[in-house]
Amino acid sequence: MLAIMRLPEARGPLGDALARDLTSGPDLSTATLECAARLDADPAAALTDDDLQLSLAVCYELHYRGFDGVDEGWEWHPELLRLRAGLERAHLAALRELVGGIAVTGDPVDQQLTALIAADDGPSLSAYMAKQGTLEQWREYLVLRSVYHLKEADPHTFAVPRLSGRAKAAMVEIQADEYGGGSAERMHSELFAGLMRDLGLDAGYGALWDEAPAVAFASVNTMSLFGLHRRWRGAALGHLATVEMTSSEPSRRYSAGLRRLGFDERTTVFYDEHVEADAVHEQIASVDMCGSLVAAEPELLPDVLFGAASSLAMDGLAAHHLLGAWEAGASGLRARPALAA
């Protein structure tokens, strides 16, 4: 039977009111709507606002596996969708401010993606983890990334039915590898779960949401927003392409960092798999998937580049968060996770 996660602990008045409504129903209360209306949507802070990001993640999770004790009818509840739309507007405004202006040229889209990636000057978290990340810092990093990697391909997969032709076929080719090529134990989400267990962490789906910081949810919320809206299909593909184009070498460094701490290929298989798979996926994603989409719908080129820039920006935000905390001698999590027995 599919394991269903419990609702996470609320991180503010909106999350608290929303949790009460979702477990009592059948409609949103005045208190929840008032909290949403009062929520500070300052673009400078929205991506690190715990209440906003967790509440948005809770809304999105109803489209994934849902929550224990929450009626499945909430997934398409009109009032909840309106509330979510307000949170999305705040999230998008913050994302646009973080990304800034993006130059669109007449070059092939794969070349524009490559140039965008080359211009990124964000900190290298993988370089730090390869050379000096401690076991405790590795656990913190995995907790943060677990919000995404235990879903792995799912946010992007929402975009598949919004495509056609070669772009759709290319995306399915990439996603099939993410899902283990039909082998459940080779699914990348399962390989990541194994990595978590080897480092003593609870690998249950959503089990560490309470410990994860806002930036962990902001990253996945960006993917969910792009995947769940047809209007943002170009951004979903640009985001996925950038993930594939930028993960091979960092995965090699992450693997080296784990080996430095004494772990072997049983533990590093998640990263080893990405070193090989994403090197192949890079051309499929940038040329076949994004190139085909833009050839058929050239008006989507700015969205493809926005999605790509968003991927880089969110990785940078997470790296700044963790490295900044560690430099200050603090934890990058809201609470240290209890180690599995």
Quick: pLDDT tens for 239-262.
999 999 999 999 999 999 999 999
Tell whether 93 and 130 lie within a shared domain: no
Cβ-based burial of 140 (10 A; exposed 0-12, middle 13-18, buried ≥19): buried
Q: 281 and 141 share a domain? A: yes
Average pLDDT over residues 291-295: 98
Q: Is residue 225 part of a domain?
A: yes
* 143 located within any domain: yes
pLDDT-derived band at 340, boundaries 50, 70, 90: confident
Contacts of 213 (CB under 8 A, 6+ apart): 48, 50, 144, 321, 332, 333, 334
In a shared domain, residues 72 and 114: no
Write out pLDDT tens, residues 62-110: 999 999 999 999 999 999 999 999 999 999 999 999 999 999 999 999 9
**Shared-domain flag, residues 144 and 252:** yes
Number of domains in the chain: 2
Q: What is the band of 204 on the pLDDT scale with cuts at 50, 70, 90? A: very high
Burial of 224: CB neighbours in 10 Å, binned 0-12, 13-18, 19+: buried
- Domain that residue 125 falls in: 109-327
Amino acid present at 254: Y
In one-letter notation, the amino acid at residue 212 is: A
Count, residues in the chain: 341
Q: Which uninterrupted H or E stretch holds 242?
A: helix 233-246
Contact 68, 7 (CB under 8 A): yes
Of 44, 71, 98, the last residue of a domain is 98
Could you tell me if residue 160 is inside a domain? yes
Q: 1 pLDDT band (50/70/90 cuts)? A: very low
Specify if 316 maps to a domain.
Answer: yes
pTM summary value:
0.96
CATH at 275: 1.20.910.10
Alpha helices in 76-178 (DSSP H): 78-99, 109-119, 125-131, 135-149, 154-157, 165-178
